[in-house]
Chain A
Amino acid sequence: MSVIEMSGLRKEFTVRVKVGRLRREKRVVTAVDGIDLRVERGEMLGYIGPNGAGKSTTLKMLTGVLMPSAGEARVCGLRPVAERTRLAMRIGVVFGQRSQLWWDLPLRDSFDLLRHVYRVPAGEHATRLARCRDLLDLDEFLDTPVRQLSLGQRMRGELTAALLHSPEVLFLDEPTIGLDVVSKQAVRGFLAELGRAGDTTLVLTTHDLADIERLCHRLVVIDHGRVVHDGSIAALHSRYGSRRMVVAELDAVLSEPPELPGAPLQRVEADGHRLVFALESATVAEVVAGLAGLATLRDISIVEPDIEEVVARLYRAPVEVGGAAVTGAP
């Protein structure tokens, strides 16, 4: 049995839109438009899409916060809204923009409170907290009131809070939003460790595709409430023809564009001082060797496949919504 099952999951909101000076019109907005998805135990799923695509709404339906308008969702075999409190015992949730912690109390107190809320035996709780303290370097701010923590520190606290009851599924909604680079690395490193252990299923929504590249083997892209891609990141790249790039900075401008086998020239920038090659069959070493014979290299850098760009292209692709073609936000 899959840990998460969604069939025909829909969520509609009625909004009142101003038309004219006084008149308001009811309009139905479909946030999630019939999603069918299965997630197996231990999978790490990246769930991405542009703003308003329905990512958070899906997560809220899976965690029992929102009632679906139609369709069905099962998490750990439970119906999220009807069996909310039972489900809550078995899942962990981190909302990047809302907190599970007690603002005015030391971080340590929040963990102790959650031990009571989730009825975790003290011994188990202590062991898990010790692991998190170690992996997330919590010790230096464990006695600081949460309101005084930096965003990065708070997020490390949120992650710990979501894991102390040993959930089977961890839902993360924008866990790295607003974090500095170091904190992002810490959070990603921690989640990667968690994934390696293998028994926690992880569902992650994010704007930062580096999160996905680092953590998730499976990528689900949604737009206008529908799944537009479901597969590996590699599959996404091959489907949209994105490749790694080699950017070479040259001292002198070449008289004619260089021909390197297996690495077609993509762009010429900086008045010919910067050349961008796509890696098809050639290796980085071959490109460097080929260029070194032609000119003096000042600098060389490798740009990983720009998933961001691929996804942006995906969003721009027209999607059929309610019979009319609607173009996604750029």
Chain B
Amino acid sequence: MAEPGTLTGPAPAVAPPEDERPAGRRSGVLGAYRALLGAQARSQAAYRTSFVVDLVGNVGATVFDVVTVLVLFGVTRELGGFTLHEALVIVGLSSFAFATADLLVGNIERLPRYVRTGLFDAVLVRPLAALPQLLLMDLPLRKVSRVVFGLAVLVASVTSAGIHWTAGRVALVLVAPLAGVVFFGAIFVTTSTVSFYWIDSGELANSVTYGGRDFTSYPVTVYGGWFRALFAYGMGFAFVSYHPALALLGRADPLGLPGWVGWAAPGVALVAAAIAALAWRVGIRHYRSTGS
């Protein structure tokens, strides 16, 4: 048996370490997250064939969103007062934002499973924030294909919609999709926190996240009454694709809101992110763990 003293005591100087960096605390944390991401990539590579199958299969869901809109325009020339090209800008913004948020944050909907399997406890006893750890340790890289497809739809639609490009609109076309990502990410996190209180709340969360995606694929003018009021403005989904699309296309809002509303998307996204962060912090303090 070796002398165990050094197990816990300060390590004696041995051969000079290859990659010892006197890095600051901040870069150490980033290095830790990078390592977690690398581990997730290697874990998925362990199942190479199923990864490729998933990669292809995942495009399907997003293609379906676009096909639905195309089919609708096969029977009508206008949808809620929008032409096909205009509607596709909305679809593009929505698809890209949702696909990217789903890639980066979507796995948090598996929080109940993390709680049951004990991963959540394991994450909490490590010297890193819990949410980024969970996101990186289970990042579904196979969903990258959806993001690529969503981006393709977005680029194709904004280039073919006859947009009159100004500096402001160029900025908006870059910022609005990112704001949409942040917004959907916030929705994913906020709804997932419900399972801190009720462990089997997955379906409720899904109805908001996936319902939100479907909602943002169409002009809000196709919806009516309290439903529109709740999803579009109560929850803010109108700021993901509808209002930014109006601003890009230079169209007045048929519902009468002023033109600057389209530029409010980043602000709405930040508010949503702040609410999500708060919900997460409160939720984690209500966390009950499992029996053992």
Contact = CB atoms under 8 A, between A and B. Distances in A.
Interface residues of B, number: 51
A91 B125 CA distance: 8
A225 to B, nearest CB: 14
B11 A128 contact: yes
Interface string B27-57: 0110110111001001100110000000000
Contact of B288 (A13, A105, A123, A166): A13
A194 B8 contact: yes
Given A65-B121, A95-B121, A104-B46, A116 B35 contact: yes
A97 B8 contact: no
Max count, chain A CB within 10 A of own CB: residue among B12, B17, B292: B292
Q: Could you say which interface size class chain A belongs to?
A: 35 or more
Contact of B7 (A65, A116, A197): A197
A314 interface: no
A278 interface: no
Given A126-B14, A131-B7, A197-B9, A64 B124 contact: yes
Given A131-B6, A135-B4, A123 B11 contact: yes
B126 A117 contact: yes
Interface string A60-91: 10011111000000000000010011101101
A124 B11 contact: yes
Nearest to A132: B7
Given A89-B127, A145-B46, A95 B13 contact: no
B127 A88 contact: yes
Main SS at interface, chain B: loop
Contacts of B10: 124, 166
A321 to B, nearest CB: 19
A163 B11 contact: no
Nearest to B130: A84
Nearest to A55: B292
Contact of A84 (B2, B36, B119, B124): B124
Pairs A-B, 3 closest by C-beta atoms: A98-B118, A122-B17, A116-B35
Interface of A: 13, 52, 56-57, 60, 63-67, 81, 84-86, 88-89, 91, 93, 95, 97-100, 102-105, 109, 112-113, 116-119, 121-124, 126-128, 131-132, 134-135, 145, 163, 166-167, 173-174, 193-194, 196-197, 199-200
30 contacts: A64-B124, A65-B287, A67-B287, A84-B124, A85-B129, A88-B128, A95-B122, A97-B292, A99-B122, A100-B125, A104-B43, A104-B47, A116-B34, A117-B127, A118-B127, A119-B23, A119-B29, A122-B20, A123-B13, A123-B15, A123-B16, A123-B20, A127-B14, A131-B7, A135-B2, A163-B8, A174-B292, A194-B8, A197-B4, A200-B8
